[in-house]
Structure 1
């Protein structure tokens, strides 16, 4: 018989090793903030790139030949992010972090910065952040997007000033969004490849929220947690993710069919009620 979620939480709080509570989040947790997901029926890959397949448009190869078009899309994303506010799920995760302190780790595929806006601190952004940029030739470090660079409607052209701001002051090449594209690989410097896998080895419970699991590093994180004796708890209203298909037959996987914000409130209450939190 599988243990209950409350039992798992209690046991993990009592452990001295491999006791991290890790949370892996994807676009689903930000959908309650009005941000579209990527691959859903109303997803941003569908709405924003209607003339291209995501695997074609969301690449460095495409950017290198169509910089203005890609930046139009990303400045539209800038508008969406500026208008979005953290929802209850984001805030509850921040409250859980305050309760657990060093026993907490947040790993997010999201590029919207809403976790930090809600107060989360210990965050690995494994796909980057659309509020930051870097030189396409990699001649400089990560920078904040210039304050003078204004958000755009999807069909709005770049101005001469926009184009000037979007070129590197060091080498003159285009600046690029600091996000992971389909034809790029995870690494430690930009996307915390090694750090997240080290955290996975120390994780007693990995909560998976709002992600289909379509990319390789989230899959590797889940595999590593199981390999080192941890549990996978997926919060998803549907049985349609990679994690469900891959792990639902194992003893250390559990599916909670609830909205992220509702399930996280219950998890927070279970942690609060346990008397051994240090």
Structure 2
């Protein structure tokens, strides 16, 4: 690990942005199941759905309240979880590097913000489970899911009184979870596409943690940063394509994210 920490310090000595790119592996240590794991499966009637089947606009349009039930259950799991030392380490790094650090997260659980990561430096590129927006797209606004919406158990249906709360405050149409679905595209107003690409294009260091390299924008971040000579570090319990790039750059750490991110943050803060 020492060689990786030295590479991170050397990168910080150069001008440019410092990016942490986080995925589900970071929150797994808080007890949140990874999205594509067996815990993400959901039964509707006699059929079991894979997460990639439910997390689509097409599924929402076909069975909106079943999809809402799945997301409200996931919201329940996330609300009952607590940030772990990895989340706190990145929040401390954001405070130490207010003009240079950016947290780009694929996670929709909100744990980074609950750990203290500033909103101005945190870019949830796949949305947030705590927010909803108009399903009819009457506006770009996002609103917190009302506090009166209760936690729900796995397999529990959305009650009529809860459905009445899940509406757009502006036009009164049905609301939808503020998440990026598999049959949708990244954009700037909702998912920070242009902002994140600009940050990557002037990066000096990208620390990738807990992501399996399955989605497009994280790949763009790593490739854009590598193209301008940024140091790339990969933290993961498993080998993955980002690790191949990092092995030729700042190095890889094969182990839990919390301990590795804490060590990296400490090294950069105390440089």
Same fold (TM over 0.5): yes
**Residue matched to 1:120:** 117
Q: Quote the Cα distance in structure 1 between the aligned partners of 2:61 and 2:30.
A: 32
Q: Quote the Cα distance in structure 1 between the aligned partners of 2:255 and 2:266.
A: 16
**Residue matched to 2:93:** 96
Task: Give the number of aligned pairs.
Answer: 265
Q: Does 1:9 align with 2:8?
A: yes
Q: Does 1:270 align with 2:267?
A: yes
**Residue matched to 2:226:** 226
Give 1:123 shift.
Answer: 0.3
RMSD: 1.9
Structure 1 unmatched runs, 5+: none
Stretches of 4+ aligned residues off by more than 6 angstroms: none
**Residue matched to 1:252:** 249
Give 1:151 shift.
Answer: 1.7
Q: What do the CA deviations read for 1:77-125 (whole angstroms, capped 9, x no partner)?
A: 1211111110111111111222222121100000111101001011000
Structure 2 unmatched runs, 5+: none
**Residue matched to 2:196:** 196
Give 1:47 shift.
Answer: 5.8
The TM-score normalised by the length of structure 2 is 0.91
Q: Quote the Cα distance in structure 1 between the aligned partners of 2:76 and 2:111.
A: 14
The TM-score normalised by the length of structure 1 is 0.89
Local SS of the residue matching 1:165: coil
**Residue matched to 1:216:** 216
Change (3 A) 1:48 1:268: farther
Q: Quote the Cα distance in structure 2 between the aligned partners of 1:79 and 1:10.
A: 39
Indicate conservation of the 8 Å contact 2:204/2:225, yes or no. yes
1:76 to 73, 82, 91: 73
Alignment of 1:82-161 (within 5 A): 82-121=79-118, 122-140=121-139, 141-161=141-161
